[in-house]
Chain A
């Protein structure tokens, strides 16, 4: 096989992997939008907050240490212990559930019945508030995320050597085997499990069915005894969990730092393409965007346009979809009759 073809396949595969990572972020948006009609601008910051909390727990960091030290003249920074990753993940999930409760109790409960734009604005405020709290709680420095569930069993880094060596012989001397990041493979597996779990939860559990009922019609759901309050806390908790997973995968690549919140930018074209209300849409949208932008950069962007076309292409593709299919590939077409 020609090297050009093999490298195109490599770019395609890496596009799929990148798409999974985009989809992980987009999933959180979809969950909340589907159940409450809120476009959660804070989803990226939630990923940042979750990842920072996880690393903080792992390292035994004292939350709000700077504030405590400045107020009481102390010099505390850590508790002096390191938590096992599994315990730290469990505690972080609890924090995200508490956050979901607080968001519902102190923000959205007071905004029931408001226009969508008001709810959207509230999430912008929430994003800035949460970013500030994360800064105050855990500090601004870059943190290394090492997630290990057993001795020697940690999140992998680096290209997958097995794939590289197994495919090396496919091409000539100028072909070095397919490069696939091991972390991306783990992210893809995690995303598959996550989507399957979310779909199963929505289809086969009482709470899942209630969630779908609320998503379909708030008033009707209320009339049959579904607690809107509980469902919204549930949905924000699930979005918080998805944010934690996205934060782990992205944080493992770049370290946990404040720019992590910007990963939300990668989710927007995915949502526009896949639809705001579809979990499979987020996955398919992510894959299309991931593959599309990588192939475009490889075949056209880098050789003819000077490179750095990925962001541009993702939004262009989303725009084209908006023109021909405004609800996205899998979104619900809402027809309002007068």
Chain B
């Protein structure tokens, strides 16, 4: 009898434990709380792409994908709890989807040997792979965003911004302050006048800032906002009749949710991007067939093709391709987090590869290396068409000021290395 119980107990434990061949991808999502409107489509895109791989290809390299979702509510403490509660499942890579959570996880994940991918957010200087061995932020970071916005405005003004007035309206947080240093450096180079307008969390009340914009009449307004701050800013810009084509937001201020509440008057508002918009890509036919029609979509299926859904799907695609690279490097389908890190460091995204995945011209081609975890920093610009209710790409992915950004990254990462006694690697 004892033997029978023991056998049953072992069987139960084996059944309950993780299947070793599964590739575990945690999804630190926020489907509730003040930022849910952006968190839900991202989480849906992330989940649906992995579901597609399982349903269509049987996983990655023959190994099925298991996605473990944990609700953070965009709260840093909850995000860290999610990390702690899921890392034991064999998590291959974390995409925290929050700069605050990313900052907290950098030392923890590095110590645990689990890579982090903070795509377009997080600690910008983490793109220096010689200091941040386990953190990746390809294909673009905040400082690329700041430089990309100025480059676009230079292009609009025949290469000369001398004497122009540019206002930065930003979320008064570590995230919102990220572009300031870069913009101040660019101000010296190009001779424009920069005005800084911080907005306190959550950003529901911005009357003072927009009255100042109305008084100062800047030629351009650049926005680093998130959540309700974006919708209120777009509405306030409409209220003071600020020309929307001169108002440009970072990629976290450029989703449908940010412009739809302001209605037709939001037409012409611009936002930066590092990936494609809309759903005119072959991969969506597969998602429709293998995920939606099969009733396996993560959400209601109404978010497909939206900016945040696309971004989530893109993040999942980059994770899947890194896992595939890791499998090729190590000759096994059953990869560990350490192998995944190697895969991320050797990741190469080419246009041919993107086209084969059903995503032609969806994002920039790039190659990650031991030194360079940040990708090429190519930034495009999109514009909102209120009548068609869609974003259109109006400027292709273009290079940013890599010399300046490289210098700033070097300075910041060197300070981090000194604070944490990190010996530079990649020699």
Contacts and interface: CB of A to CB of B under 8 A. Distances in A.
Contacts of A250: 204
Interface in A35-67: 66
Contact of B238 (A7, A158, A266): A158
B79 to A, nearest CB: 18
Contacts, number: 117
A159 B207 CA distance: 12
B261 A254 contact: yes
B104 interface: no
A132 to B, nearest CB: 8
A257 B228 contact: yes
Contacts of A308: 172, 198-200
B208 A257 contact: no
Contacts of A200: none
Contacts of B232: 253-254
B198 A259 contact: no
Given A254-B228, A298-B208, A140 B37 contact: yes
A59 to B, nearest CB: 13
Given A18-B207, A257-B228, A263-B204, A141 B37 contact: yes
B240 interface: yes
Contacts of B235: 157, 253-254
A144 B211 contact: no
B: contact size bracket? 35 or more
A142 interface: yes
B240 A159 contact: yes
Contacts of A310: 200, 205, 208
A179 B211 contact: yes
A66 B238 contact: no
A140 B43 CA distance: 13
B63 interface: no
Nearest to B228: A259
A259 B227 contact: yes
Given A144-B260, A308-B198, A159 B204 contact: no
B31 interface: yes
A311 B204 CA distance: 11
A294 B208 contact: yes
B214 interface: yes
Interface of A: 7, 10-11, 14, 17-18, 66, 69, 77, 131-132, 135, 140-142, 144, 157-159, 176, 179, 181, 250, 253-255, 257-263, 266, 294, 297-298, 302, 306-308, 310-311
Closest 9 CB pairs of A and B: A255-B261, A259-B34, A140-B36, A308-B198, A259-B228, A308-B172, A142-B37, A297-B208, A142-B257
10 contacts: A11-B208, A157-B265, A159-B239, A179-B214, A250-B204, A254-B231, A259-B34, A260-B228, A262-B202, A302-B197
Given A254-B235, A310-B200, A310-B208, 9 more contacts: A132-B32, A141-B40, A142-B257, A158-B265, A176-B215, A179-B239, A257-B231, A258-B37, A262-B34
